[in-house]
Structures are given as C-alpha cells and as structure tokens.
Structure 1
C-alpha cells in the first residue's frame, strides 16, 4: 500500500515522470496526494492557511514532492484541486458588495423566499440573512412571459442608469434574475450588455446561464451566490494557475465540482457556485472507486474531517446526485432553513461534527458538540496554537485514542496536558472528571453522526442497516467503529490513504458538467423537435466544457434525465431517460421511466393522472480515470509496536498498537486494537476483527 513507501522514506527508483497531483483544501487541513500510474503514492497534510489558501496549498505540495524525491517536472499527468473556498466565503460572508437586479415588482424575492415555513410549530424560526442587502436590490421595468414571449422589452437607458447607481454604491458584482428568464434569457443578456458598457469591470452573473430552471426564488438564490463568490474564486484560480506554471508544472489545473466531476478553470471560475461541495464530492467519488474495486454494490461513505462529517450513500457503485441542495442551514436537519442552490451535487448530508468541533454545556446543562469548530486557527487546545475550548480531538487525546507524540508522524506534537485541562474544565460543569467528560464528547459526536446518516437514508426511502461502511478523513477512522455499531453495520472498510481520501477522489473523478433547462409542458402535447433542439444545445455546451478539460469529442458520454410530476403536484421526481426515447419521441417510454422512479420513492403511481414534463437534465462526462492497484502491503505478519491504555467504554488497561504500513495482506487482528499511520489512526473496538485486504484496505468485521 502507498503508506509503505511513504513511511519508510523510500524513493521511487527510476520514476521521474508520470505523476498526478491532487490537493484538497478543507476547513482544518490541506491534503495532498502525489500518485504515479503504477500505484505508488505519497501523501501529506498541513494546516489550512485561511488568510492565503495558496500558501497551504503549495506547502502541502512541496512536502509531497520532497517525500517522493522529485520536482514539479515529474507531474506530467493531471493536477486536480478541490476546495472549501466557495463555502467558506458564503458562511463567513467574505464576498464583495453584491447586487441583485430583478424585474420591477419583484425586488423582495430574497426576503420572501418561497413563503414556506420549514417548521410549522416554531414561531421563532430563523433564516440566514440574504447575501444581498435590501439597499443593493435594483429593478428593471421589463416583463418576459412564461412562454418566453416579450410583454415589455428592456429599456437600455434604464439599465445603464441602474448600472451607474450600482457603481456609485460600491457594487463589484451583480446577479441578474429577471422573471421567466429560464424560458428566454434575452432580457438578461441585454441588461448584462448595458451594465458592462456603463460599469466596465463589474462581474455579472445571469440566472439564464447559471440556473435556467423554473421557480423564481431558488433561481435567484443560486444566481446571487454565484455572483457573490465569482470575484473571489476567479482571481484565486488565475493565481493558482499562474503559480503552477511558474513552478514548472506542465498542465493547467482541473477543478472538482459538486456533481462529482472535474472541469477546467474557465468553467469553474465563471460558475463558482458549482464548486460549493467540491471536497465532499471528491470523497464520495473515492468511496465509489473502492466500492468498484472491492466488489460492493452498496456502501455508506463516512467522511469525518477537522470541521465537518459527511455521509453519502453509494448505490450500484455510484453516489447519488441531487438537483438541489442547501448551504448555510440555520438548523442542521431542517431542509428549508438555508440557501437553496439549484446546481447538481452529490447527494449527502453534512453536519458540523469534526475533530475540531467544540464541546460545550448548553442552557439546559446538557453536553453538546458542534457545530462551531476551532478549525486550524487556533485549532483544538492540544494543537498548542492558542485554542482554549475543548474539542473532539482533545477528547480523543485524553481517551488515549490518539498518540500525542506521533500525530502527523511526530511532526506535530500534541499538548496532552492542555487537552486534559480543557476537558477537566468541561467536566467540572457536569460534575465529572476529565476522562468521563471525554467519553461523553466521544459518544455524543458519534451519536450525532449516526443520526445524520439515518436521517439521510430514511429521507430517500433506503434502509441503512447492514450496509458496509467506508470510513475516511482525518478523524473518520477514529470514530467509525462506534458509528458503525450505532448503525448496525457489520463491515467497516478503512481504505489506503484514508486521511487524504478526498484528495485521492479527485484523481478518480471524470471530467463532467451537468446542465439543466426547464421547459414546462404536458407530456401529451410535448413538442419533441423543440425538446431535441433544447437538449442538443445543452450537449454542445457540455462538449465544449469537456474539450477545455482535454476530453476528446469521441470520448464524451451524454446521460439524459427528466424531472416530471403528476398534474397538480408541486414537486417533481427525476428519472433517468435513454437518449433513444428522446430521439424517437416516445411519450409512453418517458411516462414509464417517470413512474418507475415515482414508485421507488412513494410506493404508488397514479396511472389515471396526466404527467407534466418540467425540467431536462444532461450530464456530459469523459472517461472515468483508471487508478492502478497500489503496491501490496507488507509480506510478513506484524506484531504490536507498543501498547497503551484506552479509556473508551469499556476501558481497556492496555491496547496493542500496530503500524499500518507493517501489516501483511490477510493478517487478522482481534479488537480492541489501534492501527496507526502517519495522518490518521484506525480504532477497532472490542467485538470487531480487522484484516488486510489485497488493496491495502483494512476491513473490520463485527462478531455476530
């Protein structure tokens, strides 16, 4: 496995080219994977530098290159990047002054939202404040009708005057979301041209380009978020590309998107809202990769990093993809309490439960963990960087799950005494000692993650019980065994490179772009020629994006889906649709595909009710990169390197500690046992038996 080479400090003799590079910037750590086509890999991680993300990016890259004993010229394959830049900009409100340009009479769309209350019985529900303040909402006296015909054209002079008002107010970016622009974007394009003439240099986002979908508020929310982040992301990607060139890297970077694909910097920089879930999506693609190579049809992906934990269902060896998700929720399990984003994204649940999540006592005297995180600045108390509040990582150190002297292979010593003092102060409020308080933190965070996974699966009509779990992220392997017990999982997989698996996931992600177009029509009167023309325009846009990322037209694959509903319903169901159905204009086959998806979700169909077609979806993707198997693990049965007490329930006076790199393929070890690697720690509890798979993965199985 890759860690054998890394831990031993060996050099890839004769290997000077053929490496691919992946970097994933998370909320706490920046992870890097340098991987050769023969499976040889070098990994590292460093604390994320939030004030200048590129500083941490290249620090991590330099560490990996140094471990491999090669320079930038050795990276002749892809350079792929996933980042939390967009998410952080939204949550921390770090975007520039951004305006919204709406149709006259519709200026309050961001405040009114969709008029839904996500909790009917809470009179004090909260929503996040709009990214655009009321003072920066402007309107145009124009009107496009629902069928795409013009009722009142754009007054160019009015649009230019509005642009000058924006400029005087200090606006740097504007999102244009005019009524019914999803059906005909001509008015938005006219407004953009007028703004660019009157206020050159202002970044402009059109809803008809970023989210041409029915429903005004989600379209406006997506448009504003893209406008808000574009002045941050586009310069960042330009600076990244320039610095890579300066350092001698051959290829332009590819950027991971929320949908589980990668694209070039031009598309990513123009539509940064597509990048919001790039890091978590990469982790889901890595989980799908291991489902493929290890033969799992279904899998639960569990990714716990320093700031958040994510759960994703892998079905038929592919992650689920949703057409809409939410950002900046006020309540973690309350759909509707955040900003809706109508961009295809890997379907997962994410909560503020990571290694840096802060433990506290609430007003009722109950122990709570997260969602606030200590991040990397100052970080957990044990990091010794000024943190004062106890976190999950501090609890893990106090319990003996983490070795304070061998964190990051000993390169980053942890302050065990400081962590103990912080947990003792927390325990004092509960009337318990530091160890008992640490146990409480461990149990609470595991229960939270298990609860999130249950909610995610149940909402999709799926039974989580018995599914194998794949655990990764820096903190995931520490807590996964307990989470698996709570979810009734019988098999747990710790993949190679577990701590940096999301970075690895970008290397097995295809170039992909998802496109949508709303065109509401009864199925019985669907205009098939017009629909084919609509899908053809999406296919052309998708192929162009793939070409920028280096995919030949002959290697591009198109996958079609359609959102339908029964007449009178408010929400749609997405159904996959063979392209041949569209080409043949087969209404019966389209209805059948919809009703199969509807039956799977709701358990019934309504055969006597007419069907409406609402939105067409097209995914354009290149070939899935093939990652060759990693070198085999050690060839002789390993023995424990040492042992130490571990205070999880039931407490064990001495638990054997193994080095992961020394384990032999097929070797079996009964828990409780701790298996350490440089960037993470695998905790196998009592009642589980771990063995080493030929891929290098450690597979733990629970006793019946």
Structure 2
C-alpha cells in the first residue's frame, strides 16, 4: 500500500518545528533554525532536509498544516498594510475612544496604543441605519465614491468599511464595497457585515480594521510559501491553524486573516485535547513553555475552553476580565489562553529595589542566553538551569546546540549572585523559582480566576522548557498528575495533525429569552447553518464529513459581559429555551461564584454556528514513535534542588527507560526537551509513550 504523508509545521522565534506523519503511523521530526527574514524559507529547507534523511518525496505529501506568527508579528511590529477606514459620520474616532477600559488601574501615565489607521485615513459618509435596520438617511453613492477616491489618492493598500448598525442592515456597506471593487478591483477589502455582523461599534470596527491591516501581509506570505513548496516539488494542499483551534484553507485565510492571528499557540492545546480524551482525562490544564513565553489553557469535560474576544499587542494576556483594553481588540473566537513573559530566554535581573526579577524581557533568538555563545551578556532562565545541572550542556536539540556552562556561571555570578550576596547555585535556584511563580499566574488565570480548582485537573506539559518546570508547578498548585507527550518540544507541530477544518459564523440577535420569537430564532440559526454547510461543501466536506455545532452568547439584562453556552441540535423549542437559561445560570455560577434568581431576565446577545470538516478514517498520531533514534543516556549528574536538599546525584535516562516506573529525582533527556522529575514523584510510561508523573 502506498504511504501518504501529512506535515505539521509550527514556527517559533528560535526554531521551526516540522513533523512528518505517515498513513502507516511512521513519524519523522525536524527542528531547524527559523529564518526570521522570510519564515517560509525555513519550512522549505527543513522539508528538503527531512526528505533527504528519510527518502520521502514531495509528491507523497498529501497535506501541510501550518501554524504561523506572520499575522500577529505584523500587528505587534506595526508593519501591516497602509489601511483606510470608511465609517458613518460622527464615528470617525471610535478606534481611539475604544471602550474606555484601563488595563492598569490608577496608572495615569499609561497611553493607549496608536490606532492602526491614522486619522487622516479615516473617512466618513453621511448615512444612518437604526438598530432595527431601518434606513434613516440613505447613502449618497456619489459622496461614497469621492471618499473612496480620496483614500486611493492617499495610497492605501487596503480598505476597511464599518458603518453604524450594519449588522442589522448591510445594504450601505455592500454598496460602498461595490464602489471600491469598481474603482480598485484588486485592493484588499474588509467589510464589517461580512467579517463580524455583531453589535458593539468598537469591537466590530477594530476587528474589521485588523482584518484589512493584515490581509496583504498574509496574502504575500502565503504566496511566497506556496511558490517555495511548488519549486521544491511539494504540491500538497496547505491548511492554516486558526486562533480557535480549527484549520482553514489558504483561500479562506487570505479573505479573513483575522482568524490566524493567534495561530501558533492554538495547535498545542488541540493536540493536548486529543491525547487527553484518548487517555480518559476529561479535565486538563495545558502548559506550554518555550523560549519567550509560557501559555496555559484548559480542556474541560473534553472540550477546549474558548474566548469570544482577545487583545493583540497588549502585553501579557492575563486572566482578569476587568483589566482589558491594552492592545488591539479582535472579536473572534479563540482558544482561551493566558500568557506570561517567562521562557527559557527570559532575562534575570535585579531591579531598582534590589529584588530579583525574571522577564518579561527576553534575550530572544538573537543573541539568546549567555550559554548559547551567540553574543548574549545578560543572564537568563536557561543559564540558571544550566548552572543548576538541569540541562546537559552538550545535548540540546540532540547535540546540535552546545551550551557554554562556564559563560553562564560567570555572567550569573557577576550580575546576580554577587550583587545579592548569594552563593551561585542559590541565586540560580531563586531565579528558577521566580520563573515558576510567574508561570503559575498563567495557570491560575485559566483556572481559579475562572472558578475552577486546579487540583481537579491534570497538568499537560509541553514546549521546549515545559517538562523542566512541570513537577515544580504542579507541586505549588496541589496538582498530583502531570502528562508529558512524546516529542514535547515539537508538540505544537504535532497538535496541527489532530485539528479539523472549522469555520465560525455568528450574528447579533439581542432579545430577552422570555420574549423570544422562536420562529425568528430558528430561522436565524438555519441561515447560519446554511452558510457553514455551503462553506464546507466548497472545500469538499459533505454528508457525514460536515458537522455543525451551535452556541449562544447570553448575559443577565444590564450586564456587559457575555457567557457562551452550547445549543442543542434540532429546532429550538420552549423547553430547549428554558434549558438554555438553566445552562447559562450554571455557567454563570461556575465562572463568577453566583447566579441570579429565576425572576432575573436573561438576554440573548448573539448566536454562533461552527462548521467542522471531518476527514473520514484520517489516521491520528496516537502512540506513534518518532523515528529519530534516542542517544544513549549520559552519566548521572549533580543537580541543585534548593537550600534544603542541596546538590544530589540524579540519574539521566531516556524516555524508553521509564518502561519500568522510577521515582525522582531523575532527568529524562530527549532530542527536543528535558524533563525534571523531583523527589517523591513517580515517573512511568503509558501505552502511547506519554510520560506520566504522579505525586502520591
């Protein structure tokens, strides 16, 4: 039987990770340095090297699944397209007024980020549609044409159109879109009625503008990648990971790139969900620690927790629903992630008050930690871990990266230990513990701050640095089980192989549930379902391969924040509506610790339909063994566990050696990650080669 292959590619700031998965269960992996000037180049080069190593040919590749940071980098670095905005007269400054929320309470020096569209590129038309969709002032198409021509004269590279109440009646927006297509048929265009037909002016405007801002960047990147793959003889179809954990085609990504802004972090959570389900773990907290940040998310009752909106470029994404407004708002479904600036490259420094601090600044890929010998002079978390004996100086990435332990010791001694008056090992251990405490904030943000007790969850740890900190994190949180998947340092690339094609559709439907017209409600749901099925059919998913999930966003009358709960299949009846109210009340109590009485009216805010494309019989890499041969385990080495335990000798083993359970302290070394097993933790392998860490 002919073996076909699927590829998962995840790009990080330091490494590009590639996983090649065959229909016969064979797995090949590759880590290659990211090509920051052109991320597509590292993908093509890495695949060519894998082909040379394995004998696989480009024609045998069936599909490439890709998580990318191209869209988020364009926003963070302010390198998106020169964008124009057309809006209703009187609403020119919505992007600057925002929602008046302050991310830093009492900080009068905080400044809002500059709008992505300069004021002179924000133009207005004198039209008005009311909240019920009635036209109060018709659009003057001659005026609209003059506004479009003025923006074209300014040299805009994309245009966003967002008029007041267009979610209720998009006629004026579509008329302006027609004018733009007539005057500039090739200009990227983002229309709010097509992008986000929902209430709330700032959220809708911001999302529409971001979509336009990154359209040319994403289109250019995907053209470059497609061209490189074609020249390399890899004609496989390309799918992009979305922020919500689903996959989308390149055509869909070019039209709505707003869905791939948080593409990279989502893949690992999807993979964790699949493995946790397979192992009978319905509730897990994922912990992904790389070189710059650590990210946490929850999988509850087998389902990934999603947020309905998030901010890009607002610094660290922490859990409070009140401290928002720092970045650029995107109102699209996304995996609910909390992120902190703590990774292997996080800088260790002494602040003005004489206290030891870790992050959020990072040494990045260049120059990197001091021990990388690439010009870095500031000590980092990785340098601390080398000093503590946790990392093997000669083994990183299978020996491809060698670490200079002496340089790490010298930098840490001069800049941390001596100024604090501490012995070197104690100073490094202190930095390690501070990194742990910083990362615990991310886990609490998605658990206790969401009304969940982390002790009820297992910790699913991956990323190049995640397994090194997993036991320490779990101990601090009272968690007693940790799972470390195979190839944890490449697990986000693995996660891409578990994902399904998804498309999310929504619309505002603001009604009190007890006054809801069921015929109107069902008609709106059916219309969204038809959109989803049509989109899936266009991509080849029909019949049993096309699945629909439905949800509703609700709040108590007068509230500002919504909670999303699932809707049952089939027509919504009065009984189903009462069950929906009850489900909302239960979720409100779980999240906020209380619920209102039955007399309090519940208000429907919007409805959502998710269309999923499921490939029948598609193999999953559960239990697959990467073909890369594990090197013989090096000799035991001394590690520092803190002032009480001091230096102890710890065995250094391979993952396969855990076929017979062992108790820490010990170190498991692999091609792409190192796992530290603390004293009293029991380490074993399950039947699909996950490392299970249990604390009695």
Q: CA deviation at 1:521?
A: 2.1
Q: Could you say what secondary structure the match of 1:412 adopts?
A: coil
2:340–2:360 Cα contact (<8 Å) kept: yes
Counterpart Cα distance in 2 of 1:561 and 1:80 = 27
- Structure-1 residue corresponding to 2:666: 673
Partner of residue 663 from structure 1, selected from 657, 667, 672: 657
Q: Could you say what secondary structure the match of 1:615 adopts?
A: strand
Q: Could you say what secondary structure the match of 1:253 adopts?
A: strand
| 1:66 and 2:52 matched | yes
- Structure-1 residue corresponding to 2:145: 160
- Structure-2 residue corresponding to 1:614: 605
| 1:380 and 2:374 matched | no
1:222–1:341 Cα contact (<8 Å) kept: yes
Counterpart Cα distance in 2 of 1:342 and 1:631 = 37
1:21–1:32 Cα contact (<8 Å) kept: yes
| 1:242 and 2:233 matched | no
Partner of residue 566 from structure 1, selected from 537, 553, 556: 556
Partner of residue 255 from structure 1, selected from 227, 235, 240: 240
Counterpart Cα distance in 2 of 1:335 and 1:415 = 41
- Structure-2 residue corresponding to 1:34: 20
TM-score (norm 2): 0.93
Going from structure 1 to structure 2, the CA distance change for 1:514 and 1:365 (only over 3 Å counts) comes to same
Partner of residue 106 from structure 1, selected from 91, 96, 119: 91
Q: Could you say what secondary structure the match of 1:470 adopts?
A: strand
Going from structure 1 to structure 2, the CA distance change for 1:248 and 1:616 (only over 3 Å counts) comes to same
Alignment RMSD (CA, Å): 2.4
| 1:53 and 2:44 matched | no
| 1:531 and 2:521 matched | yes
Structure 2 counterparts to residues 202-281 of structure 1, below 5 A: 202-281=187-266
Which whole-Å deviations, capped at 9, do the CAs of 1:69-128 have from their partners, x for residues lacking one?
Answer: 32212323x210011111111111121222222211111111111123344433333433
Q: Could you say what secondary structure the match of 1:260 adopts?
A: coil
Q: Could you say what secondary structure the match of 1:287 adopts?
A: helix
Which whole-Å deviations, capped at 9, do the CAs of 1:214-249 have from their partners, x for residues lacking one?
Answer: 111111111111111111001211222233233232
Going from structure 1 to structure 2, the CA distance change for 1:547 and 1:438 (only over 3 Å counts) comes to farther
Q: What runs of 5+ residues in structure 1 fail to find an aligned partner?
A: 1-14
2:461–2:467 Cα contact (<8 Å) kept: yes
- Structure-1 residue corresponding to 2:439: 449
Counterpart Cα distance in 2 of 1:89 and 1:576 = 34
Q: Could you say what secondary structure the match of 2:437 adopts?
A: helix
Counterpart Cα distance in 2 of 1:388 and 1:134 = 42
- Structure-1 residue corresponding to 2:595: 604
- How many residues align? The count is 684
Q: CA deviation at 1:175?
A: 1.8
Q: CA deviation at 1:193?
A: 2.0
2:397–2:672 Cα contact (<8 Å) kept: yes
Partner of residue 490 from structure 2, selected from 500, 505, 523: 500
Which whole-Å deviations, capped at 9, do the CAs of 1:173-224 have from their partners, x for residues lacking one?
Answer: 1222211112222222222222233344322111112222111111111111
Which whole-Å deviations, capped at 9, do the CAs of 1:599-639 have from their partners, x for residues lacking one?
Answer: 433432331133322100111112375415435799xxx99
Counterpart Cα distance in 1 of 2:248 and 2:450 = 29
2:568–2:576 Cα contact (<8 Å) kept: no
2:96–2:115 Cα contact (<8 Å) kept: yes
- Structure-2 residue corresponding to 1:458: 448
Structure 2 counterparts to residues 115-130 of structure 1, below 5 A: 115-130=100-115
Partner of residue 284 from structure 1, selected from 262, 269, 272: 269
Q: CA deviation at 1:348?
A: 1.7
Going from structure 1 to structure 2, the CA distance change for 1:177 and 1:442 (only over 3 Å counts) comes to same
1:473–1:499 Cα contact (<8 Å) kept: yes
- Structure-2 residue corresponding to 1:393: 382
Which stretch has the larger CA shift, 374-383 or 215-224?
374-383
- Structure-2 residue corresponding to 1:348: 337
Counterpart Cα distance in 2 of 1:319 and 1:689 = 28
Partner of residue 646 from structure 1, selected from 620, 639, 651: 639
Which whole-Å deviations, capped at 9, do the CAs of 1:546-603 have from their partners, x for residues lacking one?
Answer: 3354423432111111112232333322221113243779543443343343343343
Counterpart Cα distance in 2 of 1:352 and 1:296 = 28
